[in-house]
Structure 1
Amino acid sequence: MTTTHQEHPTHAHTHGPDCGHTEVSHGDHVDYAHDGHLHREHAGHWDECEPAGHAAHEEHDHAHGPACGHEAVQHGDHVDYVHDGHRHAEHDGHYDDH
């Protein structure tokens, strides 16, 4: 799965460990949940860090929810759950791997 390079051009806020936004480890970088979407630092600016395409997380037998023990991150019109270093979003009876 790849991410699109979509710069967030008017992002005056600098994210970091004490900025108040939820950190989400994402491969070799950290995303920050901000206003229902994710930002990542890239080449001196902030990108919208969104997956391209649809990738179902196969064989996911754990049901996410408010008491599942995984961090919930508001993401647009749904909630993602941070699980094993990536985000899961419920979709059509399965979980997508973001």
Structure 2
Amino acid sequence: MTTLHQEHPTHEHTHGPDCGHPQVRHGDHVDYAHDGHLHREHSGHWDECEPSGHVAHEEHAHQHGQDCGHTAVAHGDHLDYLHDGHRHARHDGHWDDH
């Protein structure tokens, strides 16, 4: 799965360990959940960090929800759940791995 490069040109907030936004480990970097999307620092600016493809999380038996114990992060029109270093999103009867 690749990630689209979409610069967030008017992002003036500087994310970091103490900025108050949920951190999501994503490969070799950290994304920050902010205003319903994810930001990552890249070459002196902030990018919208969104997957470009659909990846189902095979054999994901755990059902995420309000009391599942995983951090819920608003992401567009749905919630993702931070679980084992991934973001899981409910999609067509299964969980996607973002």
TM-score range, shorter chain: over 0.9
Q: Which ranges of structure 2 fall in alignment gaps of 5 or more residues?
A: none
Percent identical: 82
Point out the structure with the larger strand share.
2
Partners of 1:54 and 1:23 lie apart in 2 by: 22
Q: 1:69: which partner in 2?
A: 69
Contact 1:27 1:85 in 2 (8 A): no
Scaled by the length of structure 1, the TM-score of the pair is 0.97
How far, CA to CA, are the matches of 1:74 and 1:9 in structure 2?
21
Q: Contact 1:31 / 1:40 at 8 angstroms: preserved in 2?
A: yes
> Is the 1:32–1:40 contact (alpha carbons within 8 Å) kept by the matching residues of 2?
yes
State the TM-score, normalizing by the size of structure 2: 0.97
Whether the 8 Å contact between 1:21 and 1:33 is mirrored in structure 2 is yes
Runs of 4+ in 1 over 3 A off after TM superposition: none
Task: Give 1:19's aligned residue.
Answer: 19
- Please give the secondary structure, in 2, of the residue aligned with 1:96: strand
* Residue 51 (1) aligns with residue 54 (2): no
| Structure 1 unaligned blocks of 5 or more | none
1:25 positional shift: 1.1
CA distance in 1, matches of 2:53, 2:17: 30
CA RMSD of aligned residues (A): 0.6
For residues 71 and 21 of structure 2, the distance between their equivalents in structure 1, rounded to whole angstroms, comes to 13
Give the Cα separation in 1 of the matches to 2:54 and 2:27.
18
The number of equivalent residue pairs is: 98
Deviation at 1:19, TM superposition (A): 1.0
Counterpart Cα distance in 1 of 2:60 and 2:20? 30
How far did 1:32 drift?
0.4
Matched residues in 2 for 1:51 and 1:74: separation?
15
User: Is 2:80 aligned against 1:89?
Assistant: no
Q: Partner of 1:5: helix, strand, or coil? A: strand
